Amino acid sequence: MEETMRLALKTVYTIWLREAKTFVREKFRVIAMIGQPLLYLAVLGNGINSGVTLNGSGGINYLTFMYPGVIGMSILFTSIFSAVSIIWDREFGFLKEVLVAPVPRWAVALGKTLGGATIAIVQATILIFIAPVIGIHLSPGIIVEMWIMTFLIGVALTSLGIAIAARMSSMQGFQMIMNFLIMPLYFLSGAMFPLSSAPAWIKALMTVNPLTYFVDGLRNILFSGTTMASGGLVRRTIVEVATGAGLIRWSLLFDLSVVSLVAILLTATGAYRFSNQTE
Amino acid sequence: MNIIHVENLVKKFGAITAVDDIQLEVESGQIFGFLGPNGAGKSTTIKILATLLRPTAGKAAVAGFDVLANPNEVRRSIGLVFQDQSLDDRLTAQENLWFHAMLYDLPSSLFAERAEAVLRIVDLLDRRHSLVRTFSGGMKRRLEIARGLLHHPKVLFLDEPTLGLDPQTRNAIWKHVKALREGKGTTVFMTTHYMEEAEHCDKIAVIDHGKIQAVDSPARLKRMIGGDKIIVSGDDSLSDDIKTAYAVEVQKIGNDVHFQMAAGAEFVPRLVSDFAGRIKSIQVKEPSLEDVFLRLTGHSIRAQEASSLDQMRQAAQLWRRR
C-alpha cells in the first residue's frame, strides 16, 4: 500500500515536471499566454470603456469590471490547452509510452492536472501585476487568496479538458472543443457582462458555469483592497460598491466553495476517464 | 513455464477478427520473430501482450504474469519499442530517458550509469543533451531502443524496429539486439515483414490473416520447402518434359520454368545432360523465407500488402459509420 502510494506520487511528480519543462520550452505558448490577455485589456477593454458605462454600476468603470474576467479567460484557455496536449501526445505517440508504463493511470491524470494548475498560477501571477495600472491596489493577502482560487479553477478546468481529451483521438476534434466548449464557457462566465442584468435564459446558463464563480470570486478578491468615492465624502471598497450594484453576485466564501466542489468532481471524472481509455 | 505463453488468443474489432485463436510459446533468451504482411495481426498481438489492448478471448502471460490479472507486473517486466515513434521531441535524449527511468522506478543512483550505457550502445552519447526534435528518423529509433533497454526488461518487444531505416542503422540495431541477448539473456519478441530480418531470429512464427501458419527456426522452415529452387529457361516444351522426367511440380513464370529439387547444385550436371542443347540458362537458389511464406499461405508477402491495406480502409469506413 505504502509502496503503491510512493510510486503514485513519483508518477505525479514526473508528469508534472514534464508539463512544466515542455511549457517553458514552447516560447510561442508563453508569448500567447501573456500577450492575449494584454491585447484584450488594452484594445477591447479600453475601446468598450470609452464608449460604454455599465448600468447602475455605482461609478465602477468597465475596464475595472472586465479585468478579473480577462484573467479568468486566459486561465480558461491555458488550462484547457494543457489538457488537450493529451490529444497531441496521442497523435505523436508519446502517450503510449505513458500508458504502457507500470504506473497507475490516475496518477498520470493527476500529474497532468497539477501541471495545468501550476501554469495557471504562473499566468495569473504575471497578469496581476497589471492591477496598479488599472487602479487596483494589491496586498500579500490578495495575492495569496488569488493563488488559492486560481489553483482550484486550474485543477477544475484541466481535469475537464482531460475528461474530454481522454476519448478524443485526433486534432480535428480540437476545433469542436474550441467552438462549443471554451468560447461558451468564456462568454457565459460574467467576464464581459454582469450576470445581474442578463436575460433569464443566459442567467440560467451562467449559473451552471463553474467559471462564473471563479470570476465572481476573483472580483471579490481583487476589489477588496481598493476604495472609491461613493456618494459625497463616503469612501467604500470597490467590493461593497460592486456588490451593491450587482456586479458581484455572491460572497467569496460561496464562490470558493462552489469552485472547490467542482474541482473535486472534475478531478475524479478526469482521472476516471483517463484510466479507462484504451491506447 | 515459458516467458511468453499464449493460449487460444482471439481479438476482434467489430466484425473483423485481427487475431484468430493463436497459440504461442517463447522460451527465455530467444529472439522470436513474428513474420507476416501488414494487417496480419502482428501489432495487435504485441499490444495485447503489452497490456495496451484487452483480448476478446483466450489467455496470455508474459514473464509468468497474466496480462489481464496482473497488467502492472507485466508492464514492469517488459520493454516496448513501438512501430511509430513515442518520444517527446521537446525534451532532450537524456530527459526522455530520465522520464522513462522515473516511470519504471529505476533508482536515481543507477540512472546516470545506465543512461550512459544504453546511449553508448546506440551511439548517441554525444547527442544526449540535444532536443529530440533535432534528431533524424534513425536517431530517434535508436533512442527508442535505448529507452526500451534502460530498465533491463526481461522481454523486449520490438514492433517493426527497423522500418524505414537505412541498412547501416539496421545492421547496428541487430548487432545490439544480439549483444543484449548474449549479455543479459533478454528475450526479444519482434515483428517484421522483412524476410532478411526474420533470418536473424532463433524462431519464427509465420502469421497471416490473424492465424499462425507455422512456428520453427528459419533453417527448418526453409528445409520444409524440400530442396533448392531451380529456374531453367529453354524451349517451349521444356516445362512439360521436366515435369514428366523428374516427377516434380513445375511452375511456368514467363519463359522460366521453376521447380524444387533437393541438393540443387549437384542436380545441375544431370539436368544439363538430360536436356542437352535445349537449355539456355540455369539458376539454383536456396529457398528463402519468402518461398516459405508463399508455400504456407499461397501468396507472396508483398502481394498481400495491397489487399491488407484495402482491409484496413474497409475497417476504417465501418468504424466511421458507427
Residue B320 pLDDT > 70: no
- Arithmetic mean of pLDDT, B7-21: 90
**Is A91 within 8 Å of chain B by CB?**
no
Query: Using CA atoms, how far apart are residues A108 and A124, in angstroms rounded to an integer?
Result: 24
Read off the C-alpha cell for A88. 497531441
Topology annotation, domain B226-286: Alpha-Beta Plaits (3.30.70)
Pairs of residues, one from chain A and one from chain B, whose beta carbons lie less than 8 Å apart:
68
Q: In angstroms, what separates the C-alpha of B3 from chain A's closest C-alpha?
A: 18
User: In terms of DSSP bridges, do strands B187-192 and B31-35 run parallel, antiparallel, or are they unpaired?
Assistant: parallel
Read off the C-alpha cell for B209. 490473416
Q: Which residues of A104-142 are buried (b: 16+ CB within 10 A; e: fewer)?
A: bbbbbbbbbbbbbbbbbbbbbebbbebbeeeebeeeeeb
Give me the pLDDT at residue B316, please. 56
Helix (H) or strand (E) holding B167: helix B167-184
Q: Count Cα neighbours of A148 within 13 Å in the Cβ-side half-sphere.
A: 14
> Do B85 and A14 lie within an 8 Å CB cutoff?
no
> Do B52 and A93 lie within an 8 Å CB cutoff?
no
Please tell me the CATH superfamily of domain B4-221, with its number.
P-loop containing nucleotide triphosphate hydrolases (3.40.50.300)
Confidence of residue B321 (pLDDT cuts 50, 70, 90): very low
Residue B301 pLDDT > 90: no
3-state secondary structure of A235: strand
Give me the pLDDT at residue B311, please. 56
What pTM does this model have?
Answer: 0.81
Give me the pLDDT at residue B145, please. 86
Using the structure block, give the residue that is written with the C-alpha cell 529453354. B234
Q: What is the pLDDT of residues A233-252, one digit of tens each?
A: 778 888 888 888 888 889 99
10-residue averages of pLDDT along chain A (279 residues):
88 93 83 83 82 76 90 91 85 85 92 94 90 88 95 96 85 76 90 86 93 94 85 79 84 95 96 82
Helix (H) or strand (E) holding B250: strand B250-253
Can you state the angle between helices A2-25 and A105-128, rounded to 10 degrees?
Answer: 40
Strand partners, B81: B158
Amino acid at A239: V
Domain boundaries, chain B: 4-221, 226-286
Counting every residue written for chain B, the total comes to 322
Q: In angstroms, what separates the C-alpha of B312 from chain A's closest C-alpha?
A: 17
Q: What is the pLDDT of residues A83-112, one digit of tens each?
A: 888 888 888 888 888 888 999 899 999 999
Residue B167 pLDDT > 90: no
Least confident residue range of A223-232, B210-219, B258-267, B303-312: B303-312
3-state secondary structure of B175: helix
Out of B80, B89, B91, the one facing A100 most closely (by C-beta) is: B80
Out of B52, B86, B104, the one facing A93 most closely (by C-beta) is: B86
